[in-house]
Amino acid sequence: MIAITGGAGFLGYHLANYFHDRDPQQQFMLIDIADYIESDYPEGTAFLKGDIRDRKRLVELLQGREVDCLIHAAAALPLWKREDIFTTNVDGTRTVMSVCQELGIPRVVYISSTAVYGVPKVHPLYEDHPMVGVGPYGESKVQAEEVCHEFQEAGMVISIIRPKTFIGTARLGVFQILYDWVESGCRIPVIGDGSNRYQLLEVDDLAQATWLCATGDPAVCNGTFNVGAEEFHTVLEDVGALCEYAGNGARVMGTPAWLVKPALATLEALHLSPLYKWVYGTADTDSFVSVEKIKQTLGWEALYSNADALIRSYQWYLDHKHELGSGTGITHRVAWNQGALKVVKRFMR
């Protein structure tokens, strides 16, 4: 049996379906505080409610089940309150690892983030690069990895996956803003001139990496792995490919970073924009990691380029937007409130 924390989320949904496709006999139990759309998951999936910060509840849910691997994908996202980010991402991770250790669950896959690298000036980034998290989310992911290392040293088998920003079918959040503007045929402002390379990741390629870590040789999988698209170009080229696919006049427009970044920081401080520091702070810089380790160690291969991932995700948005309603939230499976960006959009047509 595979257990997945954060099972109701964007990644949890894709992991359950990817693993089922690879092994139709595999059983799943999902743990989340959010509600599930049960029809989205493989038949026979166990949908369980629980907060990863609640140790007693986790023991109740996991005890007595033959869990072969727990995938820890639950996380507080950057738009959450600072306290919730740290209690979920750090304290929650410690609770998950402690319960797995107590119950003898043989292996864990922890979904971390390349946000642990901060905003370095040298690329590509390798797994041994110093960790300097940006903002509460990045800092919490650094601390969560340190928790994982403690339990690795105590003998647990833990794979730590550091994915680039991942997108795909059913991904909304900050990318829904991009898709809304592209669909409207707007000029798409990017911070800077768009000449920087910003690596993304298609969620199925992340699911493949997770599968390999969950099923491979424990001695080989007990480590840290970057995951990102192998084929990516400049922001201008990759977003430009999406605009070309839309075919409605949408086009990329460069903006002066020295002006736009302070403006977005002000809007964020006033709670008038959903764009947080990690988004606008790194948008005009190179941001890509080496994936040689996971390729050579586990045989992982990316199936999708940056442009492929953007187009697949955008097409899903077009096909399903009538089902989304007008509500907004702060997770990757719902639209975010654009705030003051709606006003800006009017001038981008």
pLDDT tens digit sequence for 204-253: 999 999 999 999 999 999 999 999 999 999 999 999 999 999 999 999 99
The boundaries of the domain holding residue 63 are 2-163
User: Is 183 a domain residue?
Assistant: yes
Question: Residue 318 carries which side chain, given as an amino acid letter?
Answer: L
Question: Are both 115 and 70 inside the same structural domain?
Answer: yes
Same domain, yes or no: 125 and 183: no
Give the pLDDT mean for 125-144.
Answer: 94
Q: Both 131 and 183 in a single domain?
A: no
> What's the DSSP call for residue 169?
T
- Higher pLDDT among residues 35 and 349, named by residue: 35
Domain boundary among 143, 163, 183: 163
Domain annotation covers residue 207: no
Task: Please give the residue that has the higher pLDDT: either 247 or 173.
Answer: 247
Token couple for 281: 């702070």
CATH number at residue 311: 3.90.25
Selection from 233, 208, 214, 197 nearest residue 295 by Cα: 208
Name 211's Cβ contacts closer than 8 Å, sequence gap at least 6: 18, 19, 22
Please list the residues that pair with 125 across neighbouring strands.
Answer: 289
Q: Are 96 and 108 in contact (CB under 8 A)?
A: yes
Structural tokens at position 306 = 């940056």
| pLDDT at 172 (0 to 100) | 82
pLDDT at 306 over 90: yes
DSSP string of 29-64? Answer: EEEESSPP-GGGS-TT-EEEE--TT-HHHHHHHHTT
For residue range 17-55, list pLDDT tens digits in order: 999 999 999 999 999 999 988 988 999 999 999 999 999
**135 or 69, which is more confident:** 69
Residue 331 clears pLDDT 80, i.e. is over it: no
Cα–Cα distances (Å) from 330 to 31, 73, 108, 313, in that order, read: 19, 16, 27, 18
Q: Say yes or no: 95 and 51 in one domain.
A: yes
- What per-residue confidence (pLDDT) applies to 170? 84
Residue 274's pLDDT band (cuts 50, 70, 90) = confident
Taking the C-alpha atoms of residue 125 and residue 279, their distance in angstroms, rounded to an integer, is 18
| Domain identity same for 193 and 311 | yes
Q: Is residue 327 part of a domain?
A: yes
Task: Give the helix ranges, DSSP H, for the chain.
Answer: 10-22, 55-62, 82-86, 92-103, 135-153, 174-183, 203-215, 218-221, 235-246, 257-269, 277-282, 292-298, 306-320, 341-346
Instruction: Grade residue 333 by pLDDT with cuts at 50, 70 and 90.
Output: low
pLDDT bucket at 346, cuts 50 / 70 / 90: confident
Quick one: 33 exposed, middle or buried, by C-beta within 10 A (0-12, 13-18, 19+)? middle
Structural domain contains residue 209: no
Q: Is the pLDDT score of 276 beyond 70?
A: yes
User: Does 145 share its domain with 190?
Assistant: no
The reported pLDDT for the residue numbered 15 is: 97
Percent of the chain whose predicted confidence (pLDDT) is above 70: 97
- Give the pLDDT score at 84: 95
What mean pLDDT comes out for the span 125-133?
95
What are the phi and psi torsion angles at 9 (to 5°)?
A: -85, 180
Kindly state the tokens that stand for 48.
Answer: 């369980």
Would you say residue 203 lies in a domain? no
Same domain for 260 and 158, yes or no, is no
pLDDT score, position 256: 96
Residue 296 within any structural domain of the chain: no
3-class SS of residue 332: coil
Report the distance separating Cα 180 and Cα 321, nearest Å. Answer: 10
Residue 204 lies in a domain: no
Task: Please check whether residues 125 and 271 belong to one and the same domain.
Answer: no
Question: Look-up: residue for tokens 């922001």?
Answer: 235
C-alpha–C-alpha distance, residues 145 and 57, integer Å: 23
Same domain, 147 and 260: no
Q: What is the pLDDT, as a whole number, of residue 327?
A: 56
Pairwise CA distance, residues 142 & 89, whole Å: 10
Mean pLDDT of 143-151: 98
Mention every residue, 6+ apart, whose C-beta is less than 8 A from residue 201. Answer: 163, 164, 165, 166, 167, 227, 228, 229, 302, 309
Instruction: Give the per-residue pLDDT at 277.
Output: 79
Whether 261 is covered by a domain: the verdict is yes
Residue type, 110: Y
- Give me the pLDDT at residue 173, please: 81
Q: Which residues contact 94 (CB under 8 A, 6 or more apart)?
A: 147
Torsion 177-179-180-185 (CA) sign:
positive
Same-domain check for residues 133 and 266: no
